Structure 1
């Protein structure tokens, strides 16, 4: 069985969404999608993992952690998937489990890619591919695993609109199997790349050819295929057909209850077609539904994001426990040294040297292992905090894009239906206040002591000026701040001047640098 993950990020942009698929490329059933949607299979894996822990079977522990991570990732529990891979990585690197490391590096690359950590994502994906190719030559892994690595890197470049690079890696997927298999998922991605490169004829041939095979094996990747065909029809100005394929993709997604992260983007695409067709009311409704769906998946009230905010405390607790264990080991070392000293007096200098050397290397290796675990935990904690800060900034920028889009639609409605405009404008105003409250809540959770520290140093700052300081800390420019706060750019400049004056900065000192240091 051959697992692929297909990524398409940057929610709200044309032809881009937050997608994750793990697919079975063979013609065997059931597919990964069917396995990972089966709660019974999840329980069986969990029970097997617990048994492996009980029996101290290290290889099985790592293998089942990787499988459980796949379950979590496929269901959208990315924080839990990340956590399991980190713990598997510590053991796999220590025990030099190279086939398992191929899967772990690839999984980490996928998760880093999800959170827009481009450098770390590509680094882990390429590390997985390099190790996979070496193991394939040694016949220690199957071709499917190496083809998966090529496909993941192709997806990395495709979502960054490097379509020619993506095609090179997609060709490698086929080359690994020496063109002996029909690969409808690769055909789908190739079709999308050709679509973006302007070769509509080849794109149509590949997308519909892939559609035929995906329907035949009832693969969940058909959701993506239909969405891409909708994009193709839109480029061909066949808007009714485009709407038909978007709706088919959405219906299939809702029917199977999988890949719900696709829903906001599909609703957004449908809204765009309604705008083109002049049906503004449907467009507004679909945009609202898209926003609601997105917030349900990725908003501050979602279970996943609540877990993300809890991860920091969890890792801090783990680090504290590790430090306690290190202190305990040091105490044991001291006690053992005392015992060794007594033994040395009895048995002589020769035996003293042997025992001292043994204890020295034994205890040093144990401390190194504990230090490595503590270091990895700290790195893991920092990674999560960086992810949360990145996610906060991305959320605010997406909020700006949504507000601009809704405002533009309101202007169109105003010219065509004044009564509807007034009603929608009132709802829009309430929604803007709610968006700020949600943003401020998320900011406070990520930057716990910011407001407290700032008010302590500069108690004369007003509530409005504190809002400006929060956005300055996130490196927002004046235009972005005006959109979030629903004020003019000139008002932003005036507020910045007042803040500088209250803080007491001179002309050459940077307000951005000062706020960022708090």
Structure 2
């Protein structure tokens, strides 16, 4: 039973499924042949056309090369360096990497020779970009950092504004964009943001780089919001940069799966690239992304076409079979090799010169040493002579001053003695007169005493004249005493000044009473009042205090 059923089943499969399988096989063969024919039709006829579009009608380098020839003739080294750096950038954008590389290294050699660090930094950045294009990222980073280090040193020396460092931070941010390192990229962008002012020409480049950062972080909607507002600026100021901007917008819309908008911006990016012959390295990547977009849209024909175009241009730009890049596959640090050669030559010349002048320098050193020893000895002699002379002069001046001081003290002592004697005589005279005065008063009480009263008045006048004579002689001996006393204590009366003068001369209270014609108690009271007026502490001796004035 089962055998019969198996035979019937096999017969059914043979009769109905075998023709169906043959039909499917034929369809597949036809489809593959059609695709092969389509590939042939797309790739080979397009190849020459795309490459010609990249290089056709490109004469912008002629102007710069003419300038370089003129500056070479005039030997204007600074101008030569600037033109070479500009040519390096131009050739890089035109995918002529060999000439770009040569231009940057020539500029670097001249900048090194003329000690122009700013130009060296520019050349290092350009060389870093070239290494980056060939995906040699460690070497690219090395040159970016060299450039940044030089410019930071120039900023520290106030030879370059800090805002200029943005030209270093942006390439470094781009480097880490392609390294898929958003954190490091953000750190460089935020550092650049801190030093950038609103009027800085690179402010728009900085802002779109934040859009690239959002794209790297796969925040596509935010990236579009950050990129689109700057489209008009670049249309008016730097249309060639739209190659990059449109490519990034295409990536953002691709990430959002808005494929039509992605295609729109990718094609605009390529059109700008062909038009301005700038950032041509983006074109093969953009064609590859177009291929991916069409593949997502299930348009295999356009996907394949764009992929082949990408491969074709990429091969022309970077393949070893490209005559444009055979030189660059073996990138070597020509600058370092040339620098080593020049350093070696300079060292040999320096050694020869040193050998030639060694004996002359030795003689110079001997002469200098002898001269130095002579100057030291001469200096010691002059120093000793001057020191001895000054010491003797100082000694003589001190002796002379001591003699003058001693003489002045002796004279002052003699004068004070004379004044004291004179005062004592005046005291005796006043005492006698007081006695006469007393007697005359008694006589005046008798009748007919007019003449006697007149005599008493005359005696009083003589007493005042005696005090005037005393003050005059006291002032001559003790010059400045009264003026110092009045300046320090302006409230002192004439009577107080007399008391101070008598204390200065060493009069006791009893003697002061006799001179001034007052009682002993009044004299002591006068001394007490004087102490109070000058606000003298009880522990301070009045006589010593007056003598120190």
Cα distance, 1:272 vs. partner?
0.8
Q: Is the 8 A contact 1:99 1:140 kept in 2?
A: no
Instruction: Quote the Cα distance in structure 2 between the aligned partners of 1:239 and 1:263.
Output: 18
Matched, 1:38 2:57: no
Shift of residue 225, structure 1, vs aligned partner: 1.2
Deviations 1:320-371 (A, max 9, x none): 99899899979x969x98xx7xxx9xxxx9769669x9xxxxxxxxxxxxxx
- Is residue 217 from structure 1 mapped to residue 237 from structure 2 by the alignment? yes
User: Is it true that 1:170 corresponds to 2:192 in the alignment?
Assistant: no
Match of 2:277 among 245, 248, 257: 257
1:276 Cα deviation (Å)? 0.8
Give the match for residue 140 of structure 2.
121
| Contact 2:221 2:256 (8 Å CA) reproduced | no
Distance 1:90 1:159 in 2: 30
The 1:270–1:322 alpha-carbon spacing in structure 2 relative to 1, beyond 3 Å, is same
Which residue of structure 2 lines up, in the alignment, with residue 136 of structure 1? 155
Counterpart of 2:322 in structure 1 is: 302
Specify which of 48, 51, 54 is matched with residue 70 of structure 2: 48
Match of 1:25? none
1:374-385 matches, cutoff 5 A? none
> Compared with structure 1, are the counterparts of its residues 186 and 307 closer, same or farther at alpha carbon in structure 2 (3 Å cutoff)?
same
Partner of 1:305: helix, strand, or coil? coil
Q: Which of the residues 78, 98, 114 maps onto 2:117?
A: 98
Alpha-carbon separation, structure 2, partners of 1:200 and 1:327? 58
The 2-side partners of 1:235 and 1:250 are apart by 19
What per-residue deviation string (whole Å, max 9, x for no partner) do you get for residues 381-437 of structure 1?
xxxxxxxxxxxxxxxxxxxxxxxxxxxxxxxxxxxxxxxxxxxxxxxxxxxxxxxxx
CA contact (8 A) 1:37 1:75 kept: no
Contact 2:88 2:99 in 1 (8 A): yes
> Partners of 2:171 and 2:248 in 1: how far apart?
18
Asked if 1:205 is matched to 2:205, the reply is: no
1:112 equivalent to 2:144? Answer no
Secondary structure, aligned partner of 2:145: helix
Q: Counterpart of 1:227? A: 247
Find the counterpart in structure 2 of residue 279 from structure 1.
299
Greater C-alpha radius of gyration: 2
Q: Tell whether the 8 Å contact from 1:45 to 1:68 is kept in structure 2 after alignment.
A: no
CA distance in 2 between partners of 1:352 and 1:122 (Å):
46
Range with greater deviation from structure 2 (287-296 or 105-114):
105-114
Aligned-residue offset at 1:291:
1.2
Deviation at 1:194, TM superposition (A): 0.7
Q: Please give the per-residue CA displacement for 1:34-69, whole angstroms capped at 9, x wherever unaligned.
A: xx97234323332234224xx3x4444434433332
SS at match of 1:220: helix
Q: Does 1:240 align with 2:257?
A: no
Looking at structure 2, the residues matched to 351 and 327 of structure 1 have their Cα atoms a distance apart, in angstroms, of: 20
Distance 2:119 2:100 in 1: 15
Partners of 1:167 and 1:189 in 2: how far apart?
9
Q: Distance in 2 between matches of 1:157 and 1:92?
A: 28
- Does the C-alpha gap of structure 1 residues 91 and 289 become closer, same or farther in structure 2, counting only changes over 3 Å? closer
CA distance in 2, matches of 1:350, 1:329: 17
TM-score (norm: length of structure 2): 0.48
**Does the 8 Å contact 2:273/2:279 carry over to 1?**
yes
Which of 193, 196, 200 lines up with 2:213 in the alignment?
193
**Correspondence for 2:89:** 70
- More helix by proportion, 1 or 2? 2
Secondary structure of 1:178's counterpart equals coil
Distance 1:220 1:209 in 2: 17
Partner Cα separation in structure 2 for residue 223 and residue 68 of structure 1: 20
Contact 1:37-1:258 within 8 A present in 2 as well? no
Preserved contact between residue 191 and residue 206 of structure 1 (Cα < 8 Å): yes
Secondary structure of the residue that 2:326 maps to in structure 1?
helix
Deviation at 1:318, TM superposition (A): 8.0
Q: Is the 8 A contact 2:93 2:280 kept in 1?
A: no
**Distance in 2 separating the partners of 1:309 and 1:159:** 21
Aligned partners of 1:41, 1:60: CA distance in 2, in Å? 14
Question: Does the alignment pair 1:157 with 2:173?
Answer: no
Q: TM-score, normalised by structure 1?
A: 0.51
Of residues 82, 86, 93, the one that matches 2:101 is 82
RCO higher in 1 or 2 (8 Å CA, sep ≥ 6)?
1
The offset of 1:159, in angstroms, is 0.9
CA distance in 1, matches of 2:237, 2:340: 50
C-alpha spacing 1:71/1:308, structure 2 compared with 1 (3 Å): same
Closer, same or farther in 2 for the Cα pair 1:107/1:223, shift >3 Å?
A: closer
Q: CA deviation at 1:204?
A: 1.8
Cα distance in 1 for partners of 2:340, 2:141 equals 32
Instruction: Report if the CA contact (8 A) 2:93-2:277 is conserved.
Output: no
CA 1:306–1:128: 2 relative to 1, 3 Å: closer
Alignment of 1:333-348 (within 5 A): none
CA distance in 2, matches of 1:350, 1:249: 71
Contact 2:284/2:310, CA 8 A, preserved across alignment? yes
Partner residue, 2:290: 270
Is it true that 1:292 corresponds to 2:312 in the alignment? yes
Alpha-carbon RMSD across the aligned residues, in angstroms, is 4.0
Alignment of 1:352-431 (within 5 A): none
